[in-house]
Chains A and B, each alone.
Chain A
Amino acid sequence: MPLSTAERLFAAEGIAASLRIDGRDPLDARTVELETGVILQASGSCRARVHRGSQVLVGAKVAIETLDGASLGAGTSTGLGAALGQGGGRIVCQVVCDPSVAATGGGRCGAGSGRPVDDLTGECGQRLSELLNSAASGIDLASLVVIPHRVGWTVYVDVLVLDLGGNLFDVVLLATKGALCNLRMPRATVLSVDGKQDYDISSHETERLRGAEAIPLAVTCYRVGRRFVIDPTLEEEDCSDLSLAIAVNAAGQVCYMSKSGNGASHGSLIKTMMAFATRRVPELLRVADHCILQQGTRTRAIQGFKV
């Protein structure tokens, strides 16, 4: 159900008076619950659940991929071309919705115009893919290369949106970080046979994805009226006409930025948002990293979903 004009006004004027629908401060976030290693079939997995908000499940799988002449020709559009630029390895991201979200979430989410859910998940996947495949992600993409320009690992990051409660990208990135920190891939060793390079995949030795701990986290700032809020509910997201996703690493450096929504803004607001994000994210990272590392690898009893 899209919001009515009166409901929208109620939410917007509340925010103008620093009073949000659920009683939070404009710059307060909801609590998140993280659980890693929930899916045994995946190489790495993580579930993130925001209190009264979105819930996502991320499964990462690795596959070894050979870049030969045929796939090179066809690969430019599917990202294999990009993989070649990096020497072989790549990360493929996809965000899909649970059918119930696809059926009920339509027409009532996203910056101002009631965007369809497909649009929202598509944008989210695109952002994730751009961020993770860039040098700023902190992931050692070169470590995914087995034989340069020929064989490399592809990490498939599949995000399943189980519940939609606003602020999707931040949650997705957090859960993706959890899944990639949890990721264990088989060790590949390069052998030289008669001057030709070949590889062997170990059946019992595994290694971590190098640099996964350095993945930045994002804060998306949503403009409502003259102010901005973070971690909006679905209703507040609907009132916002402009949002800016800012990913920042532990050193406080901005790694990625993406604006959405049909509004336009002066640079001063953008600067305020950036200053806020660079202050906030390192703090967030400390807590998140502690939580992710403490869970270790599949040591926790896997009970799936806790209520």
Chain B
Amino acid sequence: MRREIVSPEGFRQDGRRPEELRRSHFRTSLFQQVDGSAYVEQGNTQCLVTVSGPREPQMRSKSLPDRAVVTVEYAVAPFSAGERKGPLRTNRAHTEVAASLQATFEAAIMTTLFPRSEIMICVQMVQLDGSALATAINAVSLAIIDAGIPVTDYVTACSAGYIGSDPVLDLNYLEESAGMPQLTLALLPRTRKIVTMAMEQKLHLDHLEPTAEMCEEGCLQMYQQMNAYIASASKLATLITPSA
């Protein structure tokens, strides 16, 4: 029996409306040995990010004379998905995600302020339940802010799919595996500039616009949540360590 993604009453299998995000949690400053770290939970997708830098590049040959290099490591925990997967040395899908994260954050970080240095971003997916790339982008964004690296704006991301005649926001694993086209969008929310747009299945051009619009709306909602978290976290930090 194939279950429908959106019921006739307008609810999804997990009880959300089509335009509703999953509940998310944020944490920053989790580790001591790195400059910034963040943990983001969107539904059951959990992601842990650490950022070190700007620092001297570990490989001299990789440094650039005019700006900082952003390197991204992406790893998925063996227990993160339904079926156990042993760690692979090189996984093409992971390399692709890492490359797309790198491109996203090279656009947002003011890399020209730190010539001949390196900013290293390590992404660890702890649990996967759909919208992994979007969750990773949100987590990296928070970790970079936690590290105090200058950025032009937050980068917030969200995914959306298109099923039947309507788009649905923030897909979970069940919805993702139903095979509908999925669009992941990353936005600089204040200017509404799109930095990443990823889509792997085919979708009619007429449907792209409503899907992208819903994604954009989701990104803006995400921005408000993340901004509220950062505001409360930094307030807390100043309370604990008053500037002496």
Contacts and interface: CB of A to CB of B under 8 A. Distances in A.
Interface of A: 39-42, 45, 52, 55, 57, 59-61, 63, 94, 96, 98-100, 103-105, 156, 158, 160, 162-165, 303-307
A99 B75 CA distance: 7
A215 B33 CA distance: 31
B31 A41 contact: no
Nearest to A96: B87
A268 B39 CA distance: 47
Contacts of B122: 98-100, 103
Contacts of A156: 78-79, 84
Interface string B54-87: 0000100000000000000111011111101011
A241 B73 CA distance: 33
A98 B78 contact: no
B50 A61 contact: no
Given A40-B127, A104-B52, 7 more contacts: A59-B80, A100-B52, A100-B122, A103-B58, A103-B120, A105-B33, A163-B31
B182 to A, nearest CB: 20
Nearest to B72: A99
Interface in B1-52: 25, 27-34, 39, 41, 44, 46, 48, 50, 52
A67 to B, nearest CB: 18
A55 B32 CA distance: 11
Contacts of B129: 41
Contact of B78 (A104, A158, A304, A305): A158
B34 A41 contact: no
A186 to B, nearest CB: 14
A105 B52 CA distance: 12
B128 interface: yes
B41 A304 contact: yes
Interface in B86-116: 86-87
A45 B79 contact: yes
A104 B79 contact: no
B31 A55 contact: yes
A42 B79 contact: yes
Nearest to B82: A41
A305 B74 CA distance: 19
Contacts of A304: 25, 27, 39, 41, 46, 126
Contacts of B52: 100, 103-104
Contacts of B221: none
Contact of A162 (B44, B48, B78, B80): B48
A86 B87 CA distance: 26
B54 to A, nearest CB: 15
19 contacts: A39-B46, A57-B126, A59-B77, A63-B84, A98-B48, A99-B73, A99-B74, A99-B75, A99-B122, A100-B50, A100-B120, A103-B52, A158-B79, A158-B84, A160-B77, A303-B25, A305-B27, A305-B48, A307-B28
B33 A99 contact: no
Contacts of A98: 48, 50, 75, 122, 124
B124 A52 contact: no
Residue from A42, A45, A100, A162 whose CB has the most chain B CB atoms within 10 Å: A100
B128 A41 contact: yes
Contacts of A39: 46, 79-80, 126-127
